[in-house]
A and B are shown apart, each in its own frame.
Chain A
């Protein structure tokens, strides 16, 4: 157990920061297999993670990712109402590859630290 560290950030705020950091990656991963619209992305993330706290959180990020050229958006008329579908662009695919690589490296480094701390604590 890790104890004795000065707490400069409350635990729930830290979790929130972590969630925010992961959300952009999660959104890109959600559209990586193919096109999805906003609510579909929300459902997908809600099924797999607890990253989506407010459903409205997703739309501004989708807008920014589209503006940044990582996603391409297209309105499609469906039977009930039009939906805005998103798909990864080539730049988005490249960015996602880098982000996944960074995420894995980061997670493995933290895992190593956690294991080392647990081993040292057990001595």
Chain B
């Protein structure tokens, strides 16, 4: 069967949606390779399909056999994102794996949320530390009329407010941020390794 312009557009749309979904948790080159393989599958199925009066129905049938792009992407995420994170240990890969798990299971969502809070807290502390050299007068302990008002980075300091111990706050924020990031990332990697090991004990696709 040769595809019409509309049929070609439908196939391109399917592949575009698949690639968009895959890129949220897989490396660009891994996602592109997966899409290329699925495209090869579709092209061969189309080629071997007898010409039908209703091309749309034939194409629908063919794509339904593969499954909707978001479900196919979810199956990839369940199979590959965790393994990539465990083997590489990179922050980006770990984040992608946590997102993939959060989208797949209730437990994954809860654990992902906890790790997200950990990473955000670490990022906030590191940002405070990084802001001190940029805004030297805006980072530190904030006092108003001798009363303590808070600590950290304040973009605009109101008149009468005094900021003290800026370099101490920078040092402590930096150290706490680094420790929080290290602990969160270590816990996330340990969790993903556990997920990976459990899956190896229970082989097979997680979805579809």
Chain A residues in contact with chain B, CB under 8 A? Answer: 17, 19-25, 37-39, 53-57, 59-61, 63-64, 67-68, 75, 80-84
Q: How far is the CA of A80 from the CA of B65 in the complex (A)?
A: 22
- Collect the chain A residues with CB atoms within 8 Å of residue B83's CB: 64, 67-68
Give 3 nearest A-B pairs by CB, closest first. A20-B204, A60-B79, A56-B67
- Collect the chain B residues with CB atoms within 8 Å of residue A84's CB: 36-37, 40
- Count of B interface residues, CB-CB < 8 Å: 30
Contact yes or no, A23 B41, CB < 8 A: no
Main secondary structure of the interface of B (DSSP, over half): helix
User: What's the nearest-Cβ distance from chain A to residue B200, in Å?
Assistant: 9
Stretch of B49-57, B68-76, B122-130 with 4 or more beta carbons under 8 angstroms from chain A: B68-76
User: What's the nearest-Cβ distance from chain A to residue B82, in Å?
Assistant: 9
Contact yes or no, A63 B65, CB < 8 A: no
User: What's the nearest-Cβ distance from chain B to residue A19, in Å?
Assistant: 8
Contact yes or no, B40 A54, CB < 8 A: no
- Which one of B39, B41, B204 lies within 8 Å of A55 (CB-CB)? B41
**1/0 per residue B40-67: CB within 8 Å of A?**
1101110100000000000000000111
Contact yes or no, A57 B47, CB < 8 A: no
Contact yes or no, A64 B80, CB < 8 A: yes
Main secondary structure of the interface of A (DSSP, over half): helix
Q: How far is the CA of A63 from the CA of B27 in the complex (A)?
A: 13
Q: How far is the CA of A37 from the CA of B43 in the complex (A)?
A: 14
Known contacts A54-B66, A55-B65; decide if A60 and B205 are in contact (CB<8 Å): yes
Nearest chain A residue, comparing its CB with the CB of B26: A63
Known contacts A38-B37, A63-B34, A64-B83; decide if A81 and B204 are in contact (CB<8 Å): no
Contact yes or no, A59 B208, CB < 8 A: no
- Which one of B34, B40, B66 lies within 8 Å of A81 (CB-CB)? B40
- Which one of A38, A55, A60, A83 lies within 8 Å of B76 (CB-CB)? A60
Of A25, A61, A75, A83, chain B has the most CB atoms within 10 Å of the CB of A61
- Collect the chain B residues with CB atoms within 8 Å of residue A37's CB: 40
Nearest chain A residue, comparing its CB with the CB of B76: A60
- Collect the chain A residues with CB atoms within 8 Å of residue B131's CB: none
Beyond the given A25-B203, A54-B71, A61-B205, could you list 4 further A-B residue pairs with CB under 8 A, ordered by the A residue number?
A53-B208, A57-B67, A60-B76, A64-B83
